[in-house]
Structure 1
Amino acid sequence: MTFLERFMVGMTLLFSLAIAPLSVMSMPYTQSGPALAIIPPWADRKATLAQAGLTEISPGRAPFGVLVQPDPSIDLATVRENGVWALLDGTLIAAICGVKNA
């Protein structure tokens, strides 16, 4: 395999790894059921969630993500203004993680 072929394979892998998270982040939250709130790890989790009107429902937490139950009437713009980077559909995230019937 020549250098150019290896380079093209490497660039293809790099772009596909970059596009996958972006495609998940671009999926709109359907405003039904649980959601994954992406917040900065340096922010006060409880205060950020309270200001955004979100209720934490998970016993554990990842560095950037918290499983929450949003109020169905929540305004997504208000959530983002209060420090939540993104609100992702919980059933989509569960399906990606291999959870069936979520």
Structure 2
Amino acid sequence: MEWKLADKGVILITGMKKNMKSKVMKFWDRLILRKRFIIETVFNQPKNISKIEHSRHRSYINFIVNLLKGFIAYSFQLNKLSIKMTWLDKQALMQI
């Protein structure tokens, strides 16, 4: 299954478990994997707190209005989450 996705240009970045064969991972992939929990938390904020839902909309206009409503509500929040990056993380990001 993984090779089918790789043929399409999709690369899965997952952590290694005890029973898995070890693979060589790119430096950037390891950095992102370490920040995964924080990234998911940041993405979860507007989705749950600002009521951006993944539901079936009857038109594209309803979808866009719901998305904009959530972004506007999130922009008025006082405490927004952010990802703290080290100097090394920023340098790796600039190389890509």
TM over 0.5: no
TM-score by length of structure 1 reads 0.26
> Which one has a larger percent helix, Structure 1 or Structure 2?
2
**Which structure would you say has the larger Rg?**
2
> Which one has a larger percent strand, Structure 1 or Structure 2?
1
TM-score by length of structure 2 reads 0.27
